[in-house]
Structure 1
Amino acid sequence: MPRLVQITDCHLVADPAADGGRALRQLRAVVAAVNRERPDRVLVTGDITDDETAASYQLAVATLDELAAPWFWLPGNHDDVALMAENRELLDELDLDLDLDLDLDGWRVLLLDTHVNGQPHGELGFRKLTHLAERLERNPRPTLVAMHHPPLPVGSAWIDAIGLVDREAFWQTLAPFGQVRAILCGHIHQAFASRQCLAAGEVMVYGCPATSNQFLPRAEHFAIDEAALPGYRVVELSADGLATRVERINQ
């Protein structure tokens, strides 16, 4: 049974000692814990850095390369796509769209790029949505989709204002395709689970704890959840469906 692990929202900066070294220390602890899970693949769903510097991406790659499984990243609103490409040879094969398919024993994992230059919200746009429909049309295998921005409200007013702005078009694109079973997203810095009912079936939506600070759930304005610990999400894929759990790291 393939095991996929999601890591998200590392928010590293060029100076590894910033904030007392907390962001880097917590990411390293998460990487060590993920290795104990023995995953087949690891997805890093955006906001790799906080300051969009080459040094922070070099630090991220050096740390994520400690993972014992192949890992793949996609950009969040705090990322610089060009710097990601310079620091890891990924975007060349993706034609600058992070249009990547992963094969996991009968499952297909699609990575979508919701990054909008200079904006906190996410958007796919007509071209990417059209291409997504073409990708789904070509392959009916059970599918998991990963993206940075959540495609539905999470119950925090300030986060919902900077989510995926064309989420209605996204769900309309998925509606005819019953093979999409779940969405993994970052951005919200908290464990989250919801669902979207479509004509072709139900799609689960899962958020993940950040490796950096956690956000207070259901807050009207920006607020840190000081009691919540960093963590990651584990997804087990099988012929019968998927099972998922969140693990926290106690520092």
Structure 2
Amino acid sequence: MRLIQLTDCHLHADPLAPSRTGIPHRRLERVVEAAARLRPEAVLVTGDVSQDETAASYALAGQVLARLDCPWFWLPGNHDEPRRMAEYRPCHASLDLGGWRVLLLDTQVVGQAAGELGEARLAGLASRLADDDRPTLVAMHHPPLAVGSAWLDALGLVDAEAFWRTLAGHECVQAVLCGHIHQAFVGHGPGGVPIYGCPSTSDQFLPGSETFAVDEASRPGFRVVDLHGGALATWVERVEP
């Protein structure tokens, strides 16, 4: 089973609108073309699909993602407008990947760049973890740990400690996939659970930066996650913009 993660597309209603280093719509097209060549069984977009929160930006994303020869799914990020997003395509709470499952978490706090799950979402997560002992991936927009950039770490998941307490004792959780950080990243949470960050399909952020900085030398990309039995293999692919 091959799952591909895309993230942080930051599309505008205008497909020619530029970002800091290129044109997000054009870059998404090239990333999707490259991802499709790897023949995934499913594709997941982990938030910030839109930059301007318009219905047209979600329609543009959907038109590009429809070129994939597999099902695709998305969850909201801090830049998204969930109602317009869901009007175009519903946001799922989980994905069934046969011997595996993916739990999709909404970490958005309206009007805030940082994320939070809150008591109700954490209680729902605990219930879902208790219901099924299959190998599980947890996907969310905001990273649940520091990534080493001061400005980004101030905009992460504010209730990360509560998140890890919820995961404690659930050995089915094999990894966490996150967006938001616009860079490849590998870290480990309590108990050694791996956390994987993903390059943006648009601009990349400079790793280790104290203040906001774009990594102009880095290319757009995506993460490949191969699931075999109870084992996971993952790596990042880069795409020429």
TM range (shorter): over 0.9
Asked if 1:245 is matched to 2:238, the reply is no
Structure 1 residues 133-212: aligned runs within 5 Å: 133-198=126-191, 202-212=192-202
Q: Displacement of 1:54 after TM fit?
A: 1.2
- Residue in structure 2 matched with residue 27 of structure 1 by the alignment: 28
2:48 aligned counterpart, secondary structure: coil
Q: Displacement of 1:75 after TM fit?
A: 0.3
- Residue in structure 2 matched with residue 95 of structure 1 by the alignment: none
- Residue in structure 1 matched with residue 216 of structure 2 by the alignment: 226
Q: Displacement of 1:249 after TM fit?
A: 0.2
Is there any run of 5+ residues in structure 2 with no aligned partner, and where? none
Q: Displacement of 1:81 after TM fit?
A: 0.3
Question: Matched residues in 2 for 1:59 and 1:104: separation?
Answer: 27
Asked if 1:106 is matched to 2:99, the reply is yes
Asked if 1:3 is matched to 2:7, the reply is no
Q: State the AA in 1 paired with 2:60.
A: L
Q: Displacement of 1:72 after TM fit?
A: 0.3
- Residue in structure 1 matched with residue 41 of structure 2 by the alignment: 40
Deviates more, 1:38-47 or 1:105-114: 105-114
Change (3 A) 1:125 1:141: same
- Residue in structure 2 matched with residue 118 of structure 1 by the alignment: 111
TM-score by length of 1: 0.93
The share of aligned pairs that are identical, in percent, is 61
Question: Matched residues in 2 for 1:174 and 1:235: separation?
Answer: 21
RMSD of aligned alpha carbons: 1.1
CA-to-aligned-CA distance 1:29-87 (integer Å, 9 cap, x gap): 00001110100010000000101011111111111111111000000000000000111
- Residue in structure 2 matched with residue 16 of structure 1 by the alignment: 15
Question: Matched residues in 1 for 2:232 and 2:98: separation?
Answer: 13
Q: State the AA in 2 paired with 1:205.
A: I
Check whether the contact 2:135–2:230 (CA below 8 A) recurs between aligned residues: no
TM-score by length of 2: 0.97
2:18 aligned counterpart, secondary structure: helix
Q: Displacement of 1:197 after TM fit?
A: 2.9
1:19 aligned counterpart, secondary structure: coil
Q: State the AA in 2 paired with 1:124.
A: L
- Counting matched residue pairs gives 239
- Residue in structure 2 matched with residue 214 of structure 1 by the alignment: 204
Q: Displacement of 1:136 after TM fit?
A: 0.5
